[in-house]
Amino acid sequence: EVQLVESGGVVVQPGGSLRLSCAASGFTFDDYTMHWVRQAPGKGLEWVSLISWDGGSTYYADSVKGRFTISRDNSKNSLYLQMNSLRTEDTALYYCASLGPYNYWGQGTLVTVSS
């Protein structure tokens, strides 16, 4: 059974930092490009970032570029999102996912940025 389990979401103050993790199992993790997608409370989906299967290519939404860094450790079947200079508008449920026909999503981890 495919599983993606996110962790690391907490309440953090504006300007703070946080690292999200996503543990993958049940599929060949290093075959897949992986993504982070977020959803602010009561709002729509926002694509955040992508990393290629080998970590060689990364892309970001304009809203997080320069503040967030995506990475992966294929030896640990894990995906990460380092979030710096957090803003109140970064408050959201953060999903890790593989998109496209082989489409898997976690259940999300909640990040709240508030003073």
Do 92 and 111 touch, CB atoms closer than 8 A? yes
Tell me whether residue 42 or residue 115 sits nearer to another protein (CB atom): 42
Residue in 5, 46, 69, 84 binding another protein, rule: CB under 8 A: 46
Any contact of residue 105 with another protein (CB under 8 A)?
Answer: yes
What 3-state DSSP class applies to 76?
A: helix
Rg (CA), the chain: 13
Do 19 and 80 touch, CB atoms closer than 8 A? yes
| 46 bridge partner residues | 38
Q: Which 83-102 positions form the footprint of another protein (CB under 8 A)? A: 95, 97, 99-101
Question: Would you give the distance in Å from CA 49 to the centre of its chain?
Answer: 7
Tell me whether residue 23 or residue 61 sits nearer to another protein (CB atom): 61
Any contact of residue 59 with another protein (CB under 8 A)?
Answer: yes
Residues within the interface to another protein (CB under 8 A): 35, 37, 44-47, 50, 59-62, 95, 97, 99-101, 103, 105-108
